Structure 1
Amino acid sequence: MNNRLPKRIVLTGGGTAGHVMVNVALIPHLRARGWEVHYVGSPDGIERDLIARIEPPVPYTAVKSGKLRRYLDYRNFIDPFRVLQGSVQAARVLGKLRPRAVFSKGGFVAVPVVWAAALRRIPVFLHESDLTPGLANRLSLPFATEVFVTFPESAAFFPRKKKVVPVGPIVREELLRGDPARGRSICRFSSHRPTLLVMGGSLGAEPINRTLRAALPLLDTFQILHLTGRGRIDPAVRAVGYCQREFLYDELPDALAAADLVISRAGSTAIFELFALRKPMLLIPLPRGKGRGDQVENARYFADRGWARVLPEEDLTPERLTEEIRRLYREREAYVRRMEAAAGNLGNGLETIVAHLETLVR
Structure 2
Amino acid sequence: VFSKGGFVSCPVVWASWVLRIPAVIHESDITPGLTNKLTMPFARKVCYTFPESKKYFPDEKACHTGLPVREEMNTGSRLNGLKLCGFTGGKPVLVVIGGSQGSEFINTVVRDALEELLKTFQICHICGKGNMNREYDGLSGYKQFEYIDKELPDIFACADLFISRAGATVLHEILTVKKPALLIPLSKSASRGDQILNAQSFCSQGFSDMLMEENVTKETLVSKVRELYVSRNNYIKSMKKSFSGNAVENVISIIDEIAGERDNSK
TM-score under structure 2 length normalisation: 0.84
Q: Please, which of 204, 208, 213 is the counterpart of residue 304 of structure 1?
A: 204
The residue number in structure 1 matching 2:31 is 132
The residue number in structure 1 matching 2:248 is 350
Q: Please, which of 113, 117, 125 is the counterpart of residue 9 of structure 2?
A: 113
The residue number in structure 1 matching 2:133 is 234
Opposite residue 184 of structure 2, the aligned amino acid is: I
The residue number in structure 2 matching 1:224 is 123
Query: Any residues of structure 2 matched to 1:87-106 within 5 Å, and which?
Result: 101=1, 103-106=2-5
Q: Does 2:47 match 1:151?
A: no
Q: Please, which of 221, 227, 239 is the counterpart of residue 327 of structure 1?
A: 227
Q: For residues 247 and 138 of structure 1, what CA distance do their matches in structure 2 show?
A: 34
The residue number in structure 2 matching 1:295 is 195
The residue number in structure 2 matching 1:176 is 74
Structure 2 spans left out of the alignment, 5+ residues: none
Q: 1:224 is paired with a residue of what secondary structure?
A: strand
Q: Please, which of 134, 144, 151 is the counterpart of residue 251 of structure 1?
A: 151
CA contact (8 A) 1:209 1:228 kept: yes
CA shift for structure 1 position 310:
0.6
Distance change (3 Å), C-alpha of 1:191 and 1:125: same
Runs of 4+ aligned residues of structure 1 deviating over 6 Å after TM superposition are none
Q: For residues 42 and 105 of structure 2, what CA distance do their matches in structure 1 show?
A: 38
Q: Does 2:88 match 1:190?
A: yes
Distance change (3 Å), C-alpha of 1:129 and 1:236: same
Q: For residues 162 and 256 of structure 1, what CA distance do their matches in structure 2 show?
A: 37
Structure 1 spans left out of the alignment, 5+ residues: 1-100
Distance change (3 Å), C-alpha of 1:129 and 1:215: same
Q: 1:186 is paired with a residue of what secondary structure?
A: helix
Distance change (3 Å), C-alpha of 1:155 and 1:237: same
CA shift for structure 1 position 328:
1.3
Q: For residues 338 and 152 of structure 1, what CA distance do their matches in structure 2 show?
A: 15
Q: Please, which of 158, 162, 177 is the counterpart of residue 262 of structure 1?
A: 162
CA contact (8 A) 2:23 2:44 kept: yes
TM-score under structure 1 length normalisation: 0.64
- Comparing both chains, which one has the higher relative contact order based on Cα–Cα distances under 8 Å and sequence gaps of 6 or more? 2
CA contact (8 A) 1:202 1:229 kept: yes
Q: Does 2:165 match 1:165?
A: no
Q: 1:126 is paired with a residue of what secondary structure?
A: strand
Q: Percent identity of the aligned residues? A: 41
CA shift for structure 1 position 250:
1.4
Count of aligned residue pairs for this structure pair: 255
CA contact (8 A) 1:115 1:143 kept: no
The residue number in structure 2 matching 1:76 is none
Q: 2:188 is paired with a residue of what secondary structure?
A: coil
More helix by share: 2
Q: What CA RMSD, in Å, does the superposition of the two structures yield over aligned residues?
A: 2.5
Distance change (3 Å), C-alpha of 1:205 and 1:139: farther
Opposite residue 105 of structure 1, the aligned amino acid is: K
